[in-house]
């Protein structure tokens, strides 16, 4: 039944890409074609390094200044692994290190809001959940939760996702990433939806945005996943009609080449 011939992994980012441009979704997640521009850029490395520093702070009792010193080494290590030739542009790497240190300060400041009243349940947690459907045999939803905390004196859980950007989510109540994370906590730990909050933490803005989900919200998202799978099963991969979706696309050259060949 599985025409793809391999496990079909669905993630919050792949869901978003499918409904933005199904053709790009196919190239990225089914054909697994290499992106034209390597995604491991300075911004991605900054995010990876910041997340690791926050994880270490949660797991171990490490002095804040020691983590700041470690961050520089961590950043350069991640730049090297991402195959970015940072040695030819030291000013650029130094700029991002400076920004990373500012993010760390903001992250510590935000943590003070929940450290004394909450316990860490887990952090940097990878998960996968089987997704039964009538189109493909081996489908699962996967993700990685940055941090889950629980109130010391109550049964309130919060799933928190660190965001290193300066742009706030203007529609957090429809954020599919948060919906999937809340569903995971509900399903795995049998926690009522009303006891779970989702949060996006922005250390660059000193902001935390909170939201919740109901069972109906989850059903609505899963209906979209079913729609995605149905289209994939039938080979329907339409290209984006909104050209704004093409701005950050990793397959622009391939897309333009295909269009030219069609005209010929």
pLDDT in tens, the chain (264 residues): 445 556 788 998 899 888 889 998 888 888 888 776 544 588 889 999 999 999 998 888 788 889 888 999 999 888 888 777 777 777 888 899 999 999 999 999 999 999 999 999 999 999 999 999 999 888 999 999 999 999 999 999 999 999 999 999 989 999 999 999 999 999 999 999 999 999 999 999 999 999 999 999 999 999 999 999 999 899 899 887 776 667 767 787 788 766 544 543
Counting other chains too, the contacts that 70-78 makes at CB distance below 8 Å and 24 or more residues apart are: 71/97, 71/100, 71/101, 71/104, 72/97, 74/49, 75/45, 75/46, 75/49, 75/100, 78/45, 78/48, 78/49
pLDDT at residue 262 in the model: 53
CA distance 140 to 49: 28
The whole-angstrom separation of Cα 244 and Cα 242 is 5
Please say whether the beta carbons of 125 and 158 come within 8 A.
no
Q: Helices 176-189 and 12-20, interaxial angle, to 10°?
A: 140
pLDDT for the residue 91: 83
Q: Does residue 231 contact residue 237 with C-beta atoms inside 8 Å?
A: yes
Q: In the prediction, which pLDDT does 258 show? A: 63
- pLDDT score at 261: 47
CA distance linking residue 77 with residue 84, whole number of Å: 10
User: What pLDDT is recorded for position 223?
Assistant: 95
Determine contact, residues 220/226, Cβ cutoff 8 Å: no
| 65, 118, 145, 147, 151 from 61: Cα distances, Å | 12, 16, 21, 17, 20
3-state helix, strand, coil in the chain (%, to 5): 50, 20, 30
Task: Characterize the bridge pairing of strands 118-130 and 139-151.
Answer: antiparallel
Supply the Cα-derived Rg of the chain in whole angstroms: 20
């Amino acid at each position: 039944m599985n025409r793809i011939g391999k496990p079909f992994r669905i993630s919050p980012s792949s869901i978003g890409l499918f409904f933005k441009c199904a053709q790009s979704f196919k190239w990225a997640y089914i054909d697994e074609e290499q992106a034209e521009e390597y995604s491991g850029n300075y911004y991605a490395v900054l995010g990876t390094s910041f997340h690791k520093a926050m994880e270490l702070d949660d797991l171990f009792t490490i002095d804040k200044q020691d983590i700041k010193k470690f961050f520089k080494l961590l950043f350069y290590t991640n730049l090297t692994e991402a195959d970015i030739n940072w040695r030819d542009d030291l000013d650029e790497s130094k700029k991002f290190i400076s920004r990373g240190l500012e993010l760390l300060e903001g992250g510590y400041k935000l943590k003070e809001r929940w450290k004394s009243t909450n316990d860490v349940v887990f952090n940097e947690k990878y998960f996968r959940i089987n997704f039964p459907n009538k189109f493909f045999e081996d489908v699962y939803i996967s993700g990685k939760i940055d941090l889950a905390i629980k109130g010391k004196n109550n049964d309130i859980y919060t799933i928190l996702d660190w965001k290193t950007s300066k742009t706030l989510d203007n529609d957090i109540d429809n954020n599919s990433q948060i919906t999937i994370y809340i569903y995971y906590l509900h399903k795995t730990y049998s926690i009522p939806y009303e006891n779970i909050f989702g949060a996006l933490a922005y250390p660059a803005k000193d902001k935390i945005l909170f939201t919740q989900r109901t069972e109906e919200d989850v059903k609505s998202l899963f209906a979209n996943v079913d729609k995605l799978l149905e289209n994939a099963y039938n080979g329907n991969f339409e290209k984006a009609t909104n050209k704004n979706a093409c701005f950050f696309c990793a397959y622009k050259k391939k897309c333009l080449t295909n269009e030219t060949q069609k005209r010929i």
